[in-house]
Amino acid sequence: MPLIEPIETAQAADPHDLARFRIEVREFLSNQLPDDIRAATRDGVPLGKPQSLRWHAILHKRGWLVPHWPVDAGGRGWDAMQRMVFDEEMCTHGAPELNSIMFDMIGPVLIRFGNAAQKAAFLPRIASGTQWWCQGYSEPNAGSDLAALSTRAVRRDNHYLVNGSKIWTSYAHHADWIFCLVRTDVEAKAQDGISFLLIDMKTPGITLRPIRGIHGWEGFNQVFFDDVEVPADNLVGTENRGWAVAKSLLEFERLKLARVGENKRRMERVRQLGWSETEMGVPLMHRPWFRKRFAELQMRLMALEANALRFVERAQRGEPIGAEVSMLKLRGSQLMQLWEALNVDALGPASLPFDAAAIVGKPHRLPVSAMSATALPRRFLSRGFTIAGGSSEVQRNILAKQVLGL
């Protein structure tokens, strides 16, 4: 019996017929994507949690919230190519980016490493999009060097006592649960003394400190653990072997962080500005400086997509993706920044006003367009893309050592 009963969809196109499948996804988005969510995504305004949960429910009803999960875990068993097509259509036709921490990280980890009780307790809620998770990896002194983490978890009979803090924890203020890497053996080699724990965010001893960035959005937090009691049953895998669990996420995360669809979304936004904005009465698309930069970024995106397809095809054949997948994360994150920079330059002085209402999805107080109101916050936010998920410096070191043998 499957752990989660799959949701049936009437007359669904075969996702292996990619041309028909693209049409089906587009029709679904045209008919089912709520106007307020489409508008927020178009304007670059982050969704509130109620909007996200509403969109989760729509996708879950269709059976498309976790279609890449195995069928017996509540998914559809889509392969890497089907998922890539689906993600691209979602991005280029107005749908918001989904929370990969929930659907691409903790869900697959529990499917692979969780015990029967953990799967039964968590997977149905994650698969329905009703249980919100955040990731407790980075610490104030252990970001890129994650193995240097110092948050401690000491075993006390049937529970662990956790002390320490995590930082840059995305949307922890929305989260019901957090999955954490914690140090359970201070004598072992760094990677060998780490365990993987699931922690209820309502547990006494947990406090949050929001971190508001220069972009104005409150997406990051620091999470503090002060004598937090975590049931020993919430240990995933084996004690002191949590590094293997964490590493299992990295290859898929790098492939996902190519963000081809998200780059295409930004390209279309800039293309629209190229035709709507003018310079000396001439559309920017006819100005040499704009055409040159747009064409260069478009070619970079084409190269990124072609390269990503190589790794997708490798995954389709069941081959290991390998360390060279880091080049996708490196190039994809840089390209996101370059699109946002061109977006700001296309708007010129119109991008300068800071509209605090606009960045939280409220009506604009300034006489500027929706895109202008969020241009600079999105530009500032994009600066973090070359840090989050593994900095560009770390990606270059991985490529140099593991691929080039330097």
pLDDT digit string, tens, across residues 154-204: 999 999 999 999 999 998 999 999 999 999 999 888 788 999 999 999 999
What CA–CA distance (Å, rounded) separates 405 from 221? 37
CB distance 374 to 358 below 8 Å = yes
**Cβ neighbour number for residue 293 with a 10 Å cutoff:** 19
* pLDDT tens column, 105-131: 999 999 999 999 999 999 999 999 999
* pLDDT tens column, 27-54: 999 999 999 999 888 888 888 899 999 9
Q: Which residues contact 107 (CB under 8 A, 6 or more apart)?
A: 66, 69, 73, 123, 126, 127
What CA–CA distance (Å, rounded) separates 302 from 294? 12
The DSSP letter of residue 9 is -
- Over residues 373-380, mean pLDDT: 85
The DSSP letter of residue 241 is B
3-state secondary structure of 143: coil
Domains of the chain: 18-98 (no CATH), 133-240 (2.40.110.10), 257-403 (1.20.140.10)
Supply 62's token pair. Answer: 């269709």
CB distance 353 to 376 below 8 Å = no
CA 41 to chain centre: 15
Does the pTM of the predicted model rise above 0.75?
A: yes
CB distance 58 to 90 below 8 Å = no
- In which element (H, E) is residue 178 found? strand 177-183
**Cβ neighbour number for residue 341 with a 10 Å cutoff:** 16
Q: At what angle do helices 326-347 and 288-316 cross, to 10 degrees?
A: 160
Residue 9: which pLDDT band, with cuts at 50, 70 and 90?
very low
